[in-house]
A and B are shown apart, each in its own frame.
Chain A
């Protein structure tokens, strides 16, 4: 069901060039700073460390000196769900409509004041992209001064996650409205991580718009739930049919293979399309 009857729908998505990513962590901090993400004295227990954007380090498992590593930034995948109809794993299980799929932008929302902390969504999310506030956020004395009014600080007992910097989309739309434009430009809406990445590894834009860089980089197949036509591009756990809107690109085959789980010998058969069609 399409909710937006006015004009064309957007489908905002992200492409990460894993051959450019250096694992520097700028995206993680730009995200935390943009979205008022709190921090604790000890953040080394990564299971309770709130990181909307988290950079994973993966290796090819070979021994010295054949070893290779690759960094993989992981925001919320903003899944379209099976058939790309908006039934994201998390949206499907939320009993409070605290997380919802916006058909006009393709963004999976999170309304903190609606969330009552059941954490079904965290269990449903195959990407560990959601985090629970086990404690109230506390900023050291005086540091509250840098909090941004664009994103409300969360409270104990709710789940939070990457929003594709939705407030930036709202701002861009507001500006377009004031200037009496029908739509926003590609560069008017960019996420904080994309903007900060010093390696230029992250590209953000509208996957439905063939003029946008994201579409050109991965060539999403509109008739196949946005599956990338570019053989060097892949999505994480493609075969779960979650239809993420975050794509990864790498020239390295072992990196692309790491994007999903394969039985022995299975990879050779599917390596150019990463599994079945979604139909």
Chain B
């Protein structure tokens, strides 16, 4: 066929029309754009049947009920359990991030043994045998009292098994990490002569006076407190926050009272003086009248804590103190609470006692909306521990820290290097305790350290044997409430997935070690598995626990009306000052609890770190908060690199100016500065404030008492 001009144009037009009409072009364009986005490395999550499993979170002492959404048996999302009495559907960001802990590739995947500076993977049998043999050697050498154990929490059957195991060996050295609960226990002993802890019925109180507690920064049982706090408007309740810095709690409160750091006790005592001298205290409440020391207290307060004197100490106007005292005591259901930040550290007994004095004067002990004295958790009933002669002899020796303080224990361990073996379960003292360097040194000096942990945290890195634990999503565990909760609820965590790695429930690990040791130690653990043990020792509670996932143990205030012994407060215990001299260190550095940063035994998840503001963490630098006035005095401006120095150490930080912090005070967030090589989401980000702080032990309680340390800062 001859191609002439006519046919050429005809064919050309025909082709153009064909292309325009045919869907091929558009289809190909569509296909190619889909193809360019259909890259093999973009995951396509598998679909399947949707199911929900209930469990309980144990990332913090709040113990919220969780509902885990699963697709084809695979957990994909954590939500709050709507019918759970602690959190009724709400959930904090750490709980939601639970799956990031579960699947964290930096988790410990198998038992490890230290050889020199490195770890070597070994089998569970070998690891358990190794621990059993070593502990038996120490015991046989008559040094059983030099075996110690540190758990994260002190209640529940897993810490119970650890305590029982160490007892069966013949040692009293069983410690849980120090929290405000320990200070409350000692305060109750002094003021009511009872053994127990204090819970606060915040959801029914109409006037909450908080002395620096971070009610919405993660204090106690965080979600429960969020709920109580946000129902304030509907209930007509008031929140007053006493704190030198505008925390989220202070910002959310009806009134923020910026008292100078560590003068909370003075403010409370000043208020008590106003209440007593105006005869405003609740006389009707105490049928038998006040216990000993009331007259001495009255005189002492009158002499030392007049509104004018307290105004001088705290920086709060006298009229404000008087008004606050009157508003507090005249409220229908007032409650005063102490335990700074998240409540994860103890505190000064003078402060706790002064705050609790307000509760006593208001007559709110064991009342709706008040402070409840809760007897120690005792639902777990254990058979007697069997002990051979060596154990019975060793157990006669007292614990290394008679006050039961874990900080005190490590101070002693570091000083006399007498600890032979240390078992650590789910705790990270080398990171979370003040003066982290000294604690690290103390642990390094212990010849045999066994860590039961899911993560290669700072303490586990120093272990000789690592026994990897299930995360909370893989384990069974009873989780009793505490941490300032008034109602008592015990939850049951249940595995929502088979173990992702070669890990064990620490309860099972301890049972296996005990059995391997045979003799009376083995005999003290007659259970085949941790679950059997749990069912046996929880007794009456078990049916509720297993049926509904929790057991509500106590919902109403205890019926007793305890008497009050005022002697301790009446003695006017001396305030404990922050470490350092004002001449050398003009500023005060206070720790800052941020709800988005996990500051206890676990590190923050990648999701949690992602939510942290760039005014807190920028790249690898932590920003310290200071008033523009403080910055000016120290020749600093926003974003400057600076060196902050305390009597315990120094660090390079950046400066963040914040109007809401008292001049002369510098605040730095807790929970940063992890050294966990394999977890690049937290490793080397920021500074661990515990390297700048030191414990200041309270002679009255034997616990670390100070919130903050003196510091100075200059441009780097």
Contact = CB atoms under 8 A, between A and B. Distances in A.
A38 to B, nearest CB: 9
B100 A148 contact: no
A69 B91 contact: no
Contact residues of A: prevailing secondary structure = loop
Contacts of A42: 619
Contact of A22 (B44, B78, B79, B226): B226
Interface in B60-84: 69, 71, 74-80
Interface stretch (B184-192, B461-469, B606-614): B606-614
A24 B595 contact: yes
Contact of A39 (B44, B607, B615): B607
B608 A25 contact: yes
A195 B606 CA distance: 21
Contacts of A153: 42-45
B681 interface: yes
Contacts of A121: none
Contacts of A63: 628, 659
A25 B218 CA distance: 12
B47 interface: yes
Interface residues of A, number: 68
Interface stretch (A28-36, A211-219, A221-229, A261-269): A28-36
Contacts of B302: none
B39 A149 contact: no
B93 A68 contact: no
B45 A57 contact: no
B27 to A, nearest CB: 14
Contacts of B47: 149
B119 to A, nearest CB: 19
A69 B611 contact: no
B258 interface: yes
Interface string B394-421: 0000000000000000000000000000
Interface string B598-630: 000000001111111111011100000001110
A120 B662 CA distance: 44
A154 B216 CA distance: 34
A22 B105 contact: no
B614 A46 contact: yes
Given A42-B619, A46-B614, A196-B80, A143 B92 contact: no
Interface string A18-62: 011011111011101110100101111110010100010101011
Interface residues of B, number: 77
Contacts, number: 204
A51 B33 contact: no
Contacts of A180: none
Nearest to B90: A198
Given A25-B595, A136-B39, A62 B248 contact: no
Contacts of B680: 41
Contact of B595 (A22, A41, A45, A116): A22
Contact of A26 (B39, B90, B230, B663): B90
Interface string B660-697: 11110000000000000000110000000000000000
Given A140-B104, A143-B105, A158-B37, A198 B614 contact: no
A132 to B, nearest CB: 14
Interface in B82-103: 87, 89-93, 96-97, 99-100, 102-103
A51 B87 CA distance: 25
Interface in A142-175: 142-149, 152-155, 157-158
Interface in B262-320: none
Contacts of A41: 680-681
Nearest to A62: B659
B252 A22 contact: yes
B90 A142 contact: no
A113 B33 contact: yes
A198 to B, nearest CB: 3
A143 B96 contact: no
Interface string B371-392: 0000000000000000000000
A145 B92 contact: no
A94 interface: no
B71 A39 contact: no
A93 interface: no
A155 B37 contact: yes
B96 A26 contact: yes
A68 B253 CA distance: 10
B33 to A, nearest CB: 7
B229 interface: yes
A258 interface: no
A199 interface: yes
Contact of A34 (B71, B77, B233, B658): B77
A65 interface: yes
B223 interface: yes
Contact of A148 (B45, B79, B614, B615): B45
Interface in B212-259: 216, 222-223, 226-227, 229-231, 233, 246, 248, 251-252, 256, 258
B632 interface: no
A68 B251 contact: yes
A151 to B, nearest CB: 9
Nearest to A200: B230
B170 to A, nearest CB: 42
A142 B255 CA distance: 48
A49 B268 CA distance: 44
B227 A146 contact: no
A258 B223 CA distance: 28
Nearest to B661: A64
Contacts of B608: 25, 29
B226 A199 contact: yes
B105 A64 contact: no
B586 interface: no
B80 A148 contact: no
Interface in A116-145: 116, 136-145
Contact of A200 (B90, B104, B595, B627): B90
B596 interface: yes
Interface in B582-605: 595-596
Nearest to B223: A198
A41 to B, nearest CB: 5
B227 A198 contact: yes
B628 to A, nearest CB: 8
A70 interface: yes
A198 B222 contact: yes
A195 to B, nearest CB: 6
A237 interface: no
A148 B37 contact: no
A36 B77 CA distance: 10
Nearest to B618: A44
A176 interface: no
A201 B45 CA distance: 32
A201 B229 CA distance: 11
B105 A140 contact: yes
Contacts of B78: 33
B248 A22 contact: yes
B596 A24 contact: yes
Given A24-B216, A116-B33, A149-B47, A155 B42 contact: yes
B500 interface: yes
Interface string B2-39: 00000000000000000000000000000001100101
* 8 closest A-B pairs by CB: A198-B90, A29-B93, A67-B660, A198-B226, A147-B45, A199-B230, A146-B99, A25-B611
19 contacts: A29-B611, A30-B79, A30-B91, A30-B96, A33-B78, A51-B611, A64-B246, A65-B660, A67-B658, A69-B660, A113-B33, A113-B37, A139-B43, A147-B76, A148-B45, A157-B37, A195-B80, A199-B226, A199-B230
Given A33-B96, A199-B230, A200-B227, 8 more contacts: A26-B91, A29-B97, A44-B619, A51-B610, A144-B45, A145-B103, A147-B43, A198-B87
Interface of A: 19-20, 22-26, 28-30, 32-34, 36, 39, 41-46, 49, 51, 55, 57, 59, 61-65, 67-71, 112-114, 116, 136-149, 152-155, 157-158, 192, 195-201
